[in-house]
A and B are shown apart, each in its own frame.
Chain A
């Protein structure tokens, strides 16, 4: 390990952060060396975000010292951190869609000449930054319409034009597909070889094994383990994160019944996002849908749930044609969708948990259209308990953690006792603990004889949970694999076909 002989570019010693009486970060020590990728791991609320916010100057530590390239380091705000060469790429991209790429890179610090913005210089500098990342994007085009991966890379280019020596990447691959992730990793490798230090936060352990040099595991605001290599079994890492030995993440699969519940026949989207998809899901079967981002997986399940218009083809339930024209049609027939984006499509964030649950169970909480508060409360409380939501009915949905919000979305649909449940990325951005309880819910559904359709970008998840896997590629059905023949190679072969 050559890096160990050098002195670190960033050190944290005894850094603490409290909000009132709550301590969210306790006595944190951390060293980051030039030219290495350090993965910062932990469940939600473990303190990863606090660490990165302290380093990037977003929050001020309550105690402790930091040094940056040998000198004392106490950024009062993100601006100071950026000026010193510490860049943070946030999980939510902060680009302005209508401005050009170059304008986004230089926003707030446009190069001026004679009182006017020097567009030429700006575009040249932007081009240099993009070129360093090997990106072939015109600095003049608008950001709108670029893929998420490219937008992410533009954020990185922005940090690079600021001469960043340390980059903090917060869940950069959360919305990226396999190809895009590979592209990002190539760039991270390049930066690493140029001596940039990188702090990498992610929930995806498989990719951390690929990209990270070292792993720092946090739990409850403290650093609990440090591994000098990322070449570890996932299990070891997960156990360090949750602080206890794990039972197997994916229990053995049950055999589904022979009876076919859902049948999709020659289904095509009205907007052409996918075409001619055919499959059947049996009673009690967990049917995975894999594929790259943009392959049409989300569009497919949304169409089956009536959320997007269907161009041609049919959806059959128990052999009966139930092709939906609206979400209402699908719901009435017992087909429900847990959508991809829980914050934008799953929940009314500033309403309470019980109201959210009531919105999709309007008949259950009303008698001939008359709603009573008490009935809403009882109904919600039962389902909150059943699906293990950590919260109470009157609590505002926005206050819950991501995992608990997802459980509320699942609860509000499963309370209807559906026949078919379509889950779109149900564990995205959710910590390991909440994730395994969502798997438990999925298994329980299958056991009750529900037909479950699971869309996921997490290959390990699709492989571990599904009885069969439909692989989509560029809007086409590339093939259906049985779990006995499915592995990451066979799925990726089909997905990239």
Chain B
């Protein structure tokens, strides 16, 4: 086996040159998808539609950045959809029902969301509850709390400027909500690629024991990552509230699955240690463009679900296949 090292090595180097850290495949997929939709529909290829797509992916995009961090360290967070709902309800309660200023309401919503993540993180690190179970529990708890705020009913009556943030295109181009998403993406990319803290996540995902022996505080870092992921879910909730101009506790059901799908389509490995936010951005765009295109093609929502499922399976199968080829 040792003696075959030479040829294996050459192949790996060859693959490294042509791989944008595993995001090349998804990028090609995205471009092909755009090409197809440009030819197949009249309305797909336009600035207006492109901006529409960006509007539609804001919530998913922000959640997927947090999910990327969690999956990178080899974890999973099933609670983000519920945390998003809790954040929305806290926002609505503080701002509309309790009449507090929006700044206070937003802070309160973000703190509530972050606390959910911190609790999940502590359950995982201190009580050794598997991440899947800890966040499954938090998914139920946060959903329950979100419902308890108003006993299940929705809240309306935000100040008019709040909704306009999701509508007015500054410079004819960027809504505030989309701008927030772009900032989150840029910070995510910078953090993972160029900060020591971000590099540490790769070490933890690659092998937590090696990371710990290298002096990385794996427990603290894990709690931080779950807190951050929840915080971003909370932020996504605030943007969703702005878009809908109302909040209801049933929002965000199954959003965690979309977020996980986007991360995985983008080439981040579920076993941790490889991937990144660039891939996730591509994954989010694939899901966004696919939904948009299927709508333009008037495909029924039921068939859309089937197609999106197929794309997820295909993307991951292609990635696994590539690895086996190595």
Show the binding face of A for B, using Cβ within 8 Å: 19-20, 22, 24, 44-45, 47, 49-50, 221, 305, 307, 326-328, 331-332, 337, 339, 344-351, 355, 358-360, 362, 366, 369-372, 394-396, 399-401, 412
> Contact partner of B194 among A372, A395, A400, CB < 8 A?
A372
What 9 pairs between A and B have smallest CB-CB spacing?
A348-B206, A24-B3, A45-B2, A328-B215, A331-B215, A360-B214, A359-B203, A348-B207, A19-B4
> Contact partner of B12 among A22, A344, A395, CB < 8 A?
A395
Question: Shortest Cβ distance from A308 into chain B, in angstroms?
Answer: 11
Question: Shortest Cβ distance from A231 into chain B, in angstroms?
Answer: 30
> Contact partner of A359 among B4, B5, B195, B210, CB < 8 A?
B210
Q: Are A396 and B12 in contact (CB under 8 A)?
A: yes
B256 contacts chain A at the CB level, 8 A cutoff = no
Assess A371 versus B206: contact at CB under 8 Å? Given A360-B215, A396-B12, A401-B2. Answer: no
Chain B residues whose CB sits within 8 angstroms of the CB of A305 once the complex forms: 213
Q: Are B214 and A327 in contact (CB under 8 A)?
A: yes
Q: Are B200 and A50 in contact (CB under 8 A)?
A: no
Q: How far is the CA of A344 from the CA of B207 in the complex (A)?
A: 8
Q: How far is the CA of A399 from the CA of B2 in the complex (A)?
A: 9
B283 contacts chain A at the CB level, 8 A cutoff = no
A-B contact count (CB 8 A): 109
B34 contacts chain A at the CB level, 8 A cutoff = no
Chain A residues whose CB sits within 8 angstroms of the CB of B6 once the complex forms: 22
Q: How far is the CA of A434 from the CA of B251 in the complex (A)?
A: 60
Chain B residues whose CB sits within 8 angstroms of the CB of A24 once the complex forms: 2-4
Chain A residues whose CB sits within 8 angstroms of the CB of B207 once the complex forms: 344, 347-349
- CB-nearest residue of chain A relative to B323? A350
Question: Shortest Cβ distance from B14 into chain A, in angstroms?
Answer: 12
Q: How far is the CA of A326 from the CA of B16 in the complex (A)?
A: 36
Interface secondary structure of B, over-half rule? helix
> Contact partner of A399 among B5, B197, B200, B209, CB < 8 A?
B5
- CB-nearest residue of chain B relative to A328? B215
> Contact partner of B199 among A328, A332, A371, A399, CB < 8 A?
A371
B196 contacts chain A at the CB level, 8 A cutoff = yes
CB-CB contacts below 8 Å: B207-257 with A: 207, 209-217
Q: Are B8 and A399 in contact (CB under 8 A)?
A: yes
A–B pairs, 21, beta carbons within 8 Å: A19-B3, A22-B7, A44-B2, A307-B213, A327-B212, A331-B215, A344-B207, A344-B210, A345-B210, A347-B210, A348-B207, A348-B273, A351-B202, A360-B215, A362-B200, A362-B215, A369-B196, A370-B196, A371-B196, A395-B12, A399-B5
Q: How far is the CA of A94 from the CA of B4 in the complex (A)?
A: 23
Q: How far is the CA of A370 from the CA of B214 in the complex (A)?
A: 18
Question: Shortest Cβ distance from A434 into chain B, in angstroms?
Answer: 12
Show the binding face of B for A, using Cβ within 8 Å: 1-9, 12-13, 16, 193-200, 202-203, 206-207, 209-217, 273-274
Q: How far is the CA of A339 from the CA of B207 in the complex (A)?
A: 14
Assess A346 versus B196: contact at CB under 8 Å? Given A351-B273, A395-B12. Answer: no
Q: Are B194 and A370 in contact (CB under 8 A)?
A: yes
Q: How far is the CA of A362 from the CA of B212 in the complex (A)?
A: 13
Chain B residues whose CB sits within 8 angstroms of the CB of A339 once the complex forms: 213
Other A-B pairs, 17, CB within 8 Å; known A20-B7, A348-B210: A19-B7, A22-B7, A328-B217, A332-B215, A346-B210, A348-B203, A348-B211, A349-B207, A351-B273, A355-B202, A360-B215, A362-B196, A362-B199, A362-B200, A371-B193, A395-B13, A412-B214
Q: How far is the CA of A313 from the CA of B315 in the complex (A)?
A: 55
Q: Are B3 and A350 in contact (CB under 8 A)?
A: no
Q: How far is the CA of A372 from the CA of B198 in the complex (A)?
A: 12
Q: How far is the CA of A401 from the CA of B5 in the complex (A)?
A: 8
Q: How far is the CA of A27 from the CA of B16 in the complex (A)?
A: 36
Q: How far is the CA of A19 from the CA of B16 in the complex (A)?
A: 22
Assess A359 versus B199: contact at CB under 8 Å? Given A20-B7, A24-B4, A349-B207. Answer: yes
Q: Are A47 and B213 in contact (CB under 8 A)?
A: no
> Which of A45, A49, A351, A412 has the most chain B CB atoms inside 10 A of its CB?
A351
Question: Shortest Cβ distance from A159 into chain B, in angstroms?
Answer: 22
Chain B residues whose CB sits within 8 angstroms of the CB of A412 once the complex forms: 214
Chain A residues whose CB sits within 8 angstroms of the CB of B13 once the complex forms: 394-395
Chain A residues whose CB sits within 8 angstroms of the CB of B198 once the complex forms: 371
Chain A residues whose CB sits within 8 angstroms of the CB of B210 once the complex forms: 344-348, 359
Q: Are A45 and B3 in contact (CB under 8 A)?
A: yes
Chain A residues whose CB sits within 8 angstroms of the CB of B211 once the complex forms: 348, 359
Q: Are A326 and B217 in contact (CB under 8 A)?
A: yes
Question: Shortest Cβ distance from A230 into chain B, in angstroms?
Answer: 25
Chain A residues whose CB sits within 8 angstroms of the CB of B194 once the complex forms: 370-372
Q: How far is the CA of A307 from the CA of B211 in the complex (A)?
A: 11
Chain B residues whose CB sits within 8 angstroms of the CB of A47 once the complex forms: 3
Q: How far is the CA of A475 from the CA of B153 in the complex (A)?
A: 64
Chain A residues whose CB sits within 8 angstroms of the CB of B215 once the complex forms: 326-328, 331-332, 360, 362
- CB-nearest residue of chain A relative to B1? A49
Chain A residues whose CB sits within 8 angstroms of the CB of B274 once the complex forms: 350
Chain B residues whose CB sits within 8 angstroms of the CB of A348 once the complex forms: 202-203, 206-207, 210-211, 273
Q: Are B196 and A344 in contact (CB under 8 A)?
A: no
Chain A residues whose CB sits within 8 angstroms of the CB of B199 once the complex forms: 355, 358-359, 362, 371
Chain B residues whose CB sits within 8 angstroms of the CB of A349 once the complex forms: 206-207
Q: How far is the CA of A50 from the CA of B217 in the complex (A)?
A: 42
Q: How far is the CA of A50 from the CA of B1 in the complex (A)?
A: 7
> Which of A327, A339, A346, A359 has the most chain B CB atoms inside 10 A of its CB?
A359
Chain B residues whose CB sits within 8 angstroms of the CB of A345 once the complex forms: 209-210, 213
Q: How far is the CA of A346 from the CA of B212 in the complex (A)?
A: 10
Q: How far is the CA of A395 from the CA of B214 in the complex (A)?
A: 20
Question: Shortest Cβ distance from A388 into chain B, in angstroms?
Answer: 17
Q: How far is the CA of A337 from the CA of B214 in the complex (A)?
A: 9
Q: How far is the CA of A358 from the CA of B196 in the complex (A)?
A: 10
Chain A residues whose CB sits within 8 angstroms of the CB of B196 once the complex forms: 362, 366, 369-371
Question: Shortest Cβ distance from A397 into chain B, in angstroms?
Answer: 10
Assess A22 versus B213: contact at CB under 8 Å? Given A348-B203, A371-B194. Answer: no
Chain A residues whose CB sits within 8 angstroms of the CB of B5 once the complex forms: 45, 399-401
Q: Are B273 and A337 in contact (CB under 8 A)?
A: no
Assess A370 versus B217: contact at CB under 8 Å? Given A22-B7, A359-B203. Answer: no
- CB-nearest residue of chain A relative to B208? A348
Q: How far is the CA of A401 from the CA of B12 in the complex (A)?
A: 16
- CB-nearest residue of chain A relative to B217? A328
Q: Are B7 and A351 in contact (CB under 8 A)?
A: no
Question: Shortest Cβ distance from A91 into chain B, in angstroms?
Answer: 11
> Which of B3, B13, B274 has the most chain A CB atoms inside 10 A of its CB?
B3
Chain A residues whose CB sits within 8 angstroms of the CB of B214 once the complex forms: 327, 331, 359-360, 412
Q: Are B197 and A221 in contact (CB under 8 A)?
A: no
Q: How far is the CA of A360 from the CA of B200 in the complex (A)?
A: 10
Chain B residues whose CB sits within 8 angstroms of the CB of A366 once the complex forms: 196
Q: Are B206 and A49 in contact (CB under 8 A)?
A: no
